Structure 1
Amino acid sequence: MYDVIVVGGGVAGLSGALPLVRSRRSVLVIDQGDPRNAPADGVHNYLTRDGIPPLELTALGRQEVTGYGGEVLTGTVTSARALSEGFAVETADGQRFESRRLLVTTGLTDQLPDVPGLAERFGRDVLHCPFCHGWEVRDQAIGVLATGPMAVHQTMMFRQLSDDVTLFLHTGPEPTEQEWEELAARGISVVQGVVEQVEVTDDRLTGVRLQGGRVIPRQALAVQTSLRARADFLDELGLKAVDREVRGFVIGTAVEAGPGGTTSVPGVWVAGNVTDPMGQVVTSAAAGFSAGAAINGELVGEDTRLAVAARSS
């Protein structure tokens, strides 16, 4: 039995594992190997690591964790259940592992609007986050695809990065009177009509095609994705992802967490995008560390109680 199994080997999971292995805890990290940010060229806003390829960052993290005695396994956890003492997880290939505590850092998936061409360009010139990728498309012709009530806000964020921004209303709601005024004041073009597909030439986005054939030249397109927590395997524990709202609008799902990543199931902790859909890589790393440190503190208390009981028997 491990002290802790970490399900998810991204930045949050590895950052949670690190303080545990440095505290001489036995730790197994199980990761299925398809991080959300894999299509991106680089991680940004991570001090001293700005621009590092995502898979290079996690590879370095794995080296650090295993260097202190942690184990890292490539696999997909399909179920987790409580034991009389601790937890058991099973992987898709039939392996079973047990631990005293669980740290879940499985992240989320981005569900894209149903527009041909978006998925193939996502993380390159189809973007969702101005902080993650905005600098890379600065001063370009940027489009924003409206699919929900946050579209005008997202448009204003990208307007900070370029003077040439167009809002495609697509399936989004009509802007309010105040929003129309703001869009006009910032010199943002607004295009009515449903987007049919994105145009690509020489492996670069070159435009947005509307139903009817009109093409608006663009070099980058921002979209709002639906953020869905990877948490189905927690059902047997009674943990389910619930709708998460921002400014009164549902942006996706997340696992509810208390201070430091505690959940409603004692002994199970969460960190990173699985509980904080809007979190950046650097904040996910911090959350993972906090959860790992807290788990170690809880185990210290348990070890001490067991030692006192053994001494008294």
Structure 2
Amino acid sequence: MQQHSWDVIIIGGGSAGLSAALMLGRSRRSVLVVDEGRPRNRFAGHMHGVLGRDHTSPLDLLAAGRAELGRYDGVTVRPGEVAAASVAEGGFEVVLDDDGRHLARRLLVASGLRDELPEIPGLAEQWGRGAFICPYCDGWEQRDRRIAVIASSAANVHQAQLMRQLSADVTFHGHGVELPDEERAGMLARGIRIDDRAVVEVIADGEGALRGIRLADGTDAPVDAIFVGPAPHPNDGILLALGAETAEHPMGGRWVTVDPMGRTSVPGLWAAGNVTDGRSSVPYAMAAGSLAGAGINADLVEEEVGAAIATA
């Protein structure tokens, strides 16, 4: 199998990966972007809070980004998955799912994460259409509607308080989560109802639109929108296999650590976007990718300056 060489390989063609490729392409770097085509926000019909792109499709944004990269002849975007990555002389070797082998001086992982929803029948079918995670991303569209916040941890209290800013009709469904007294008092003081009964089903109408939720005692509660807090699982297998250091994260679990430019603890290995922080919105991921692209280019320039001095 022929082996190809690049300045940088980027794993992941979402907002972070494409932004990094743009910065590197504009610096005349040879870049391969390998994209599985499964961005985290693919379930959403629209994205919000993205300046200049508010209320447009996230998939359209990525398509436009790939088209823009077409003007930079050093950048190649291809579909596929990375089967393995290892440290090699001068950088990294990346093996793709078609057994193609590629060498890169630097490797950027922007592979995102997957959301694990609470195991409530009917909830997954509403993900991105009647059920949401982020009040900033989707709250405005649900203003003044009947909102159900289904708890999976005490962190959902903050979600409920944010939604109370947008609607006077918010119910916090404890779903078995124990809450500190001050959290309960804070919600009640702002008119948020608290229902400690477990949610056993999410109900849709005949056309698949959200109609309500069913509680443990058989009661059906009509709701217009659901907000939940899925457990985020970073797609960081390659980073961990290459030895990147991790640390405890405010969202729970251990996540790969990076500096402000996206540099990991492994020389030449970078990471950006949701794979390092589950709170990343589209603008955050784009910014992180842009910083990583600039940082990688500067790192390569530094290496090239050293090589030029040694040769001289």
Does the alignment reach a TM-score above 0.5?
yes
Shift of residue 19, structure 1, vs aligned partner:
1.1
Shift of residue 6, structure 1, vs aligned partner:
0.6
Q: 1:88-142 CA deviation, whole Å, 9 max, x = no partner?
A: 1112232221100011111111110111111111111111100111111111100
Cross-structure match for 2:67: 63
Between the aligned partners of 2:245 and 2:80, the Cα distance in structure 1 is 21
Between the aligned partners of 1:275 and 1:81, the Cα distance in structure 2 is 20
- Gap regions ≥5 residues in structure 2: none
Moved over 3 A (4+): 240-243
Q: Secondary structure at the match of 1:259?
A: coil
Q: Secondary structure at the match of 2:47?
A: coil
Cross-structure match for 2:109: 104
Cross-structure match for 1:263: 264
Letter in 2 for 1:270: A
Letter in 1 for 2:93: A
Between the aligned partners of 1:180 and 1:241, the Cα distance in structure 2 is 34
Q: Secondary structure at the match of 1:60?
A: helix
Shift of residue 306, structure 1, vs aligned partner:
1.6
Matches within 5 A, 1:208-223: 208-223=213-228
Matches within 5 A, 1:50-129: 50-69=54-73, 70-129=75-134
Shift of residue 196, structure 1, vs aligned partner:
0.6
Between the aligned partners of 1:205 and 1:283, the Cα distance in structure 2 is 30
- Gap regions ≥5 residues in structure 1: none
On the 8 A contact 1:43/1:52 being kept in 2, the answer is yes
Cross-structure match for 2:308: 307
Shift of residue 234, structure 1, vs aligned partner:
2.8
Matches within 5 A, 1:1-313: 1-69=5-73, 70-173=75-178, 175-201=179-205, 202-239=207-244, 243-246=248-251, 250=252, 252-311=253-312
Letter in 2 for 1:131: Y
Letter in 2 for 1:67: R
* Structural RMSD (CA): 1.4
On the 8 A contact 1:229/1:255 being kept in 2, the answer is no
On the 8 A contact 1:143/1:167 being kept in 2, the answer is yes
Shift of residue 65, structure 1, vs aligned partner:
1.5
TM norm structure 1: 0.94
On the 8 A contact 1:14/1:288 being kept in 2, the answer is yes
Between the aligned partners of 1:241 and 1:29, the Cα distance in structure 2 is 25
Q: Secondary structure at the match of 1:43?
A: coil
On the 8 A contact 1:229/1:241 being kept in 2, the answer is no
Between the aligned partners of 1:107 and 1:304, the Cα distance in structure 2 is 33
Shift of residue 239, structure 1, vs aligned partner:
2.5
Between the aligned partners of 1:195 and 1:262, the Cα distance in structure 2 is 42
TM norm structure 2: 0.94
On the 8 A contact 2:257/2:276 being kept in 1, the answer is yes
Q: Secondary structure at the match of 2:13?
A: coil
Q: 1:264-296 CA deviation, whole Å, 9 max, x = no partner?
A: 101011111111211111011011111100111
